[in-house]
Structure 1
């Protein structure tokens, strides 16, 4: 075969593959082929159709196809929401009687500041994080003080940190506006269209609505934006329930030595080591560029992905080295970091042999709380119609793993799970589970209209019988 013919065939195959992966990404960006490390190293995959950009000071615009958007994940919207098929085709009649809604907080500044320092200042002057407490009687009423971060140029530690007016992490104004739109869309679907959520949250709120968050300011501030969108005219205050931080059943609040021991075992397997091997060149390049040759930055892609995501999701550029500003992270490097992050999340919660036990240790108690809510609906003893929990990616991931999601990408900002429970005319209960606005695809099939008992059977194995004993086991 001549060189020109061979090169022509290579170009044609490359083009066909590019068109194929683009088509797959447009149709199914939530479910990439994550079970092999070639997903990480295949540069032609890019972001696998995912979006990693958002305007700095505005709400994110929804994409036409509601694709995987790390900065602002899709959620139920009136424009894209569809009723269950048995309701639409008239094969059964029924009504929505309960909604269990879980979501990650909205977009924010990074947790992880580059060890060598940041070359761009973060600005948060357009958001006011309020900090105050009030007696139950509301008398005397507090002064509404808010935290105003600033950088003192005389602070000697600033040289290797980041200038600006933000805390790390903190909700950004774009994240707040995304949350407000998130709430408006939930209002359109679940209050106006399906008549489930009450129009006045204070009216019988103790019996019909349950709002919950972690102890993090990120989730609490996100709740403020989302709930304002949901109830735009309400002028009172609402309880956002939280457990004590040291025993919280979300955000890994309670201490559990077995949890960290099992994670160490998971990250010592040949498969995990293989992904470190195939990404060694990338990790070494980034470590050299950003003085990040430490175990916390090199053992997983969590820190680099977090830093890059937070920049791109808030209108900033990828970072450059402070020592040599001509050396900057490239988009191709960022794409590989994001693919590696997706691979790691899928391995932690779906693909490793100890995933079930790990989910039990991390999120089993919270899954048990969800199961209790659903069981009460099944028994007809629930007084709630709507429960909304504002949590973290580390909570959404294990719940998605427990559901058996076909492939788990890193749950992006505002990721959400809607457990809809429908009651038919003959008093049977059916469930469907929407992940970021559409029925989740799992190893059990698409959870679009299944008996509630079947959903409970999927979740119950992940609820530990004795978490105290499990956590203290050697």
Structure 2
């Protein structure tokens, strides 16, 4: 994981005093009919398209609302120009990261089919990038595999990006371009001179990055674009101890007791009864349920015919939100846990903005693609208002800054973040640095 990352997406901007012309393009989205019992104004879990009966920026776990020209609002201060940005998003739709002990029996006979998604992976010599066959890999699960009961039928790997996730990524890039290329004229297109991209080491994050770039500028299909990789994680035993402590008190344990009947029923149905990875929190159930519902797969049904109900799934989604908010925001010492496990990333972001302020930044846009763990830490560290929810797929933060008297505007899930609509660059850098301990190595690995 990317610093234990599963990502939300953030966007930062730098603005300069100068008039901006406003132009809005219309967007239409098809509406699923009838509405799924999984969907409500509180959240959508049935697919990438948010039903039009709900506001456009309704929480959609399968495809988070993000910046787009149809709903973009200019800053309240007049005569400003965007001059610098950092962006962070979570990757888009994937297969489950967690498997049941008897996974095969809990999936539809067709299994997970990824034949419509080619995962290219090849190397070339820097001296001649045309040298090498362009190979791609496909998962093949033989029907007579001795461990078939523990995996699924089909051609998908565990946790891999799907064709639907790739399509959502391309559309995300188009929506991004509709604002920052077409509307604000911040970028003329996408090139390695102006745009720097960084991902985790997971295949799905750099595949999403490539689709985003292509969505922003289709001429990139004829070009090469370097994507840097973030080191995926670092050891921090003292942070682990902090989290263990605040997950051993009633504020946490009470919710496990209160939902014991649900836990027992789901564990029995899916064959995980007695397994601590599934009973200590609802992360695994949340993952396996949402991966299915977002792709139109039925919720798990076992060999006896017992199935997870939509009502139980919705309850799990709510518990997942509670757990993420508690672990990364509400718990005592959650802020310390965040700063220790994500402080390296906060420092990198702070260094980006300091470099811009000092005139040393060489890029106009720095774009990060990661995971939900990154996004929840970022949201907590930026003091996003209200209870935090599980970072949706494609979740987004955007930052921007202004010239002369520098200000930062933070966008979260397509709209200005409350309290961060217009803050001085110096204050914003201070906020980032407050989440980055100077002695993080010692605090993580030392004896204290």
TM-score (norm 2): 0.86
Q: Does 1:272 align with 2:260?
A: no
- After superposition, residues 24-423 of structure 1 pair within 5 angstroms as 49-54=42-47, 64-87=55-78, 93-117=79-103, 118-120=106-108, 121-138=111-128, 141-202=131-192, 205=193, 208-234=194-220, 235-243=222-230, 248=231, 251=232, 253-293=233-273, 294-321=275-302, 323-324=303-304, 326-406=305-385, 407-423=387-403
**2:271, 2:160 → 1: CA distance?**
24
* Contact residue 190 and residue 213 of structure 2 kept, 8 A: no
How many Å apart are 1:160 and its aligned residue? 3.3
**2:358, 2:91 → 1: CA distance?**
32
Change (3 A) 1:390 1:45: closer
1:12 is matched with none
Q: Secondary structure at the match of 2:434?
A: helix
CA distances 1:124-149 after superposition (whole Å, capped 9, x unpaired): 11101111111112255211111111
CA distances 1:422-442 after superposition (whole Å, capped 9, x unpaired): 23xxx101111111111123x
How many Å apart are 1:353 and its aligned residue? 1.0
**1:374, 1:183 → 2: CA distance?**
23
Change (3 A) 1:46 1:134: closer
**1:216, 1:230 → 2: CA distance?**
22
Count of matched residue pairs: 403
2:440 is matched with 467
1:456 is matched with 429
Residue segments in structure 1 that go unaligned for 5+ positions in a row: 1-43, 88-92
CA distances 1:332-359 after superposition (whole Å, capped 9, x unpaired): 1001100010001101111011111111
* Contact residue 102 and residue 149 of structure 2 kept, 8 A: no
Higher relative contact order (CA 8 A, sep 6+): 2
2:3 is matched with none
Q: Secondary structure at the match of 1:85?
A: coil
**2:41, 2:260 → 1: CA distance?**
22
1:15 is matched with none
TM-score (norm 1): 0.82
Q: Secondary structure at the match of 1:86?
A: coil
Q: Secondary structure at the match of 2:375?
A: helix
* Contact residue 60 and residue 174 of structure 1 kept, 8 A: no
Change (3 A) 1:219 1:318: same
* Contact residue 47 and residue 335 of structure 1 kept, 8 A: no
**2:129, 2:319 → 1: CA distance?**
53
Structure of larger gyration radius: 1
Q: Secondary structure at the match of 1:101?
A: strand
**2:309, 2:81 → 1: CA distance?**
50
**1:116, 1:333 → 2: CA distance?**
20
**2:198, 2:114 → 1: CA distance?**
26
Computed over aligned residues only, the root mean square deviation of the Cα atoms, in angstroms, reads 1.9
How many Å apart are 1:114 and its aligned residue? 1.9
* Contact residue 46 and residue 332 of structure 1 kept, 8 A: no
